[in-house]
Structure 1
Amino acid sequence: MASASAFGRCGRVALLGAMLVLAACGLPRSGPTKREVMSGAVENGGSTNIVMVNDAIARAASYAPTYGFSRSFQAAGQVGADEIRPGDTLGLMIWENVDDGLLTSMGASSTQLQQLQVDSAGFIFVPYAGRIRAAGNSPDALRQIITNRLASQTPDPQVTVTRLAGDGATVSVMGKVGGQGVYPIERPTRTLSSMLAKAGGVAIAPEVAVVTVKRGGETGKVWLTDLYSNPRNDIALRPGDVILVEEDSRNFTALGALGGQTMVPLGNEQINALEGIAMVGGLSSNLADPTGVFVLREEPASVASKVLGRSVQSTQRVAYILDLTQPNGLFVARDFLLRDGDTVYVTEAPFVQWHKTISALTGSLSQAASLENAVK
């Protein structure tokens, strides 16, 4: 009996030791503790700058990248509605003041030349007038050029020039619009907003719609709401522009002791840390440590220099700590703006791990007692 009792005591000690090891490193949890995150600080040989957020830090980190068009986009003038361009189709009518003219048939005083397409170099060919540069001229200017060319060969010629089609001055509209396609730049559609209307309007919610314009090697983009609220964003279109409408993909990730763990779209609004937490159900009242709310971010050098108080030359990995228990902690969190790619991570309260440890040990001791009774 003594040996059995000794075995039971030894078994309990062994099981207790095993459970202590399990409680120390094997219990389930939602992520690293506050102390474990801070152990990766640069001061400890890690690669993360740990920054406690206060009012000054919130202001320094409030940089928010914005969309908008460069000066070259905004300074571009509107395409003249009557300006002839390569690819346009023209119609000519020529009257001659003689019975037997150069171009007219017997008994006719005029001739009509239809479907004259301006070639890629901007030229057309007119019989007896030769190869004439049409691109860059208005129909009236081209009329005068052709008249002058024919005047040396037939007396007092009269010429009219009509722009039949404007296929040369076009833009491409793609993405989330009512009707994708290639559209001519005409008098009513010489600006970005009017061309979007011509394409059937935007087919997604305006607050998440981003409009991108590609012109040669340059690209600009703007929120749809900013396009209509700021006239400077309603840029003049140029031939060959590509317009793309797409849904904004900016988001932040919420992890840890929160009401939900997910990726959250930012839209075109400025969302602060408090709003971001509320969007996923708030802090978990049973798990969260309100002193350990982290915002993890890759900070550009210009902003990192202000936040860290020293000059840096490259992007820095920063873990911002928001302590909601401080007297002004909620105000600081309200003033701290989230950005695309941020990770909001809320650590578990120390009590949670302690509770899990006690629960694990209590359950294990009960199992050990049952085992001892079975041995007896």
Structure 2
Amino acid sequence: MLAAGCATLPSSGPTGHEIQKSITDPKEAGQLQIVEIADAASLPVATARRALPFSENEPSPTDMVGPGDVLDITIYEAGIALFGGGSRIPGDGTGFDPSAKVEKLPPNRVDDGGYIQLPYTGRLRVAGQTVSEIARRIRTGYSGLSQNPQVLVSIREDITNSVIVGGEVGKPGRLILSTNRESLSDAIALAGGYRGDAKDLEVRVTRKDVNGEFRLSDVLAGSERDLRVEPGDRILLLRAPRSFSVMGAPGRVEQLAFSGSAISLAEAIATAGGANPNLGDPKAIFIFRATAAENGQPVNTVYHINMMRTGSYFLAQRFVMRDKDVLYFGNAQANQPSKLIQIISQLFSPIVAITSGVSALR
């Protein structure tokens, strides 16, 4: 009766033997693979970091002009002036007024085609040029109309030399690059810093239709992920905490967040509370991991570790958990009869209590 009853008892999951048997089932062949964590050679290889999706270019000049920028143009003239209204000095038939005339043109926005409009000379293409190059071209255009004009050009509103920073930062918006050598961490700091825990944040960079995703903790660690930003980049900080799920003998189904930028299997087991001493089997601890091969095909791997072996505790410290791993504590086969006895006890305890009560009344 006990043997028959144990097979039908409710359970939080299969035993370690049942898991291993199901993996070797012909129906599962080719879909699952089991790896026994018995020594250092059986530990999963650390995931190779993907190469940076962006090529490293030379920093562009900080005074480069492009569409959307607003320019301030000032023209200095002496003698007969095109803008300043220069005239002959009264009583002097040979000289001209030597004082300089200053004409500040209205703010000039660079249109979508990269042109600005100037009086007397018409449209001038300035996109992709620095302010000094633009000043020389304007002076050349006015040289036949004015006596030795001097031109100063400055950027009033800088759109070209900027990046957009958004998401979980203190001051989202447009950020002007002062040197064009600012790194990703510099841009985040200039935008008011990040909000939340660095280990839970992801940085997404969009550059000319190419996207890159990095963990903020890696960026702040000073790795190659702390790349140099370029004008036109869009930087977005998103909350994307990493976690693992706990199932099986603990009697609970729970999703636990990583306590740091990376955690080991030993830390994961401790965070989950370990195997239940009444229900769990420390010899049957499994990690279910779904990954993808280079060809894009799914790869489902089950890692098994026997924590009754002393060496397994050292291996568990070197086993690195990944995001969305499932940590499963197998049920102990020996606890099934005790479950049946507990259920039978619960069924008959009311009868025993009533019988005892009747005897007391007599």
Residue segments in structure 2 that go unaligned for 5+ positions in a row: 88-99, 355-362
Give the superposed CA RMSD.
3.1
Are 2:23 and 1:31 equivalent residues in the alignment?
no
Q: 2:58 pairs with 77, 80, 84, which one?
A: 77
Q: 2:254 pairs with 257, 262, 284, which one?
A: 262
Paired AA for residue 271 in structure 2: M
The structure in which a higher percent of residues are helix is 1
Between the two proteins, the alignment pairs up a number of residues equal to 342
Q: Distance in 2 between matches of 1:347 and 1:31?
A: 7
Are 2:29 and 1:49 equivalent residues in the alignment?
no
Q: 1:95 pairs with 76, 81, 86, which one?
A: 76
Q: Distance in 2 between matches of 1:82 and 1:76?
A: 17
TM-aligned CA distance change 1:65 to 1:276, over 3 Å: farther
Contact 1:272 1:335 in 2 (8 A): yes
Q: Which residue of 2 aligns with 1:356?
A: 339
Paired AA for residue 139 in structure 2: T
- What secondary structure sits across from 2:107 in the alignment? strand
Paired AA for residue 166 in structure 2: M
Q: Distance in 1 between matches of 2:102 and 2:171?
A: 42
Shift of 1:287: 1.5
Q: Which residue of 2 aligns with 1:8?
A: none
- What secondary structure sits across from 2:84 in the alignment? coil
Matches within 5 A, 1:1-376: 21-25=4-8, 27-46=9-28, 47-56=31-40, 58-59=42-43, 61-64=44-47, 66=49, 69-72=52-55, 75-99=56-80, 101-105=81-85, 109-187=101-179, 190-230=182-222, 232-258=224-250, 261-266=253-258, 269-301=261-293, 314-361=297-344
**What's the TM-score once normalised by structure 2's chain length?**
0.83
**What's the TM-score once normalised by structure 1's chain length?**
0.80
Contact 2:12 2:249 in 1 (8 A): yes
Shift of 1:218: 1.4
Residue segments in structure 1 that go unaligned for 5+ positions in a row: 1-16, 303-311, 372-376
Contact 2:170 2:192 in 1 (8 A): yes
Shift of 1:138: 1.6
Q: Deviations over 1:249-277 (max 9, x none)?
A: 22111111238641122265332211111
Q: Distance in 1 between matches of 2:330 and 2:85?
A: 92
Q: Deviations over 1:156-215 (max 9, x none)?
A: 222111221203333221111111222223348843223222211111123333322111
Paired AA for residue 326 in structure 2: T
Contact 1:179 1:199 in 2 (8 A): yes
TM-aligned CA distance change 1:254 to 1:66, over 3 Å: farther
Greater Cα offset, 182-191 or 323-332: 182-191
TM-aligned CA distance change 1:340 to 1:234, over 3 Å: closer
- What secondary structure sits across from 2:236 in the alignment? strand
Shift of 1:239: 2.9
Q: Distance in 2 between matches of 1:193 and 1:260?
A: 40
Shift of 1:109: 2.8
Q: Distance in 1 between matches of 2:282 and 2:292?
A: 27
TM-aligned CA distance change 1:79 to 1:265, over 3 Å: farther
Contact 1:260 1:281 in 2 (8 A): no
TM-aligned CA distance change 1:229 to 1:366, over 3 Å: closer
TM-aligned CA distance change 1:334 to 1:362, over 3 Å: same
Q: Deviations over 1:78-127 (max 9, x none)?
A: 3422112221111111233443x333346683321131111122211212
Shift of 1:36: 2.4
Paired AA for residue 305 in structure 2: L
Contact 2:162 2:231 in 1 (8 A): yes
Q: Distance in 1 between matches of 2:37 and 2:215?
A: 30
- What secondary structure sits across from 1:246 in the alignment? strand
Paired AA for residue 74 in structure 2: M
Q: Deviations over 1:19-77 (max 9, x none)?
A: 8655421x222112223222322453224222222225533x132364774351xx133
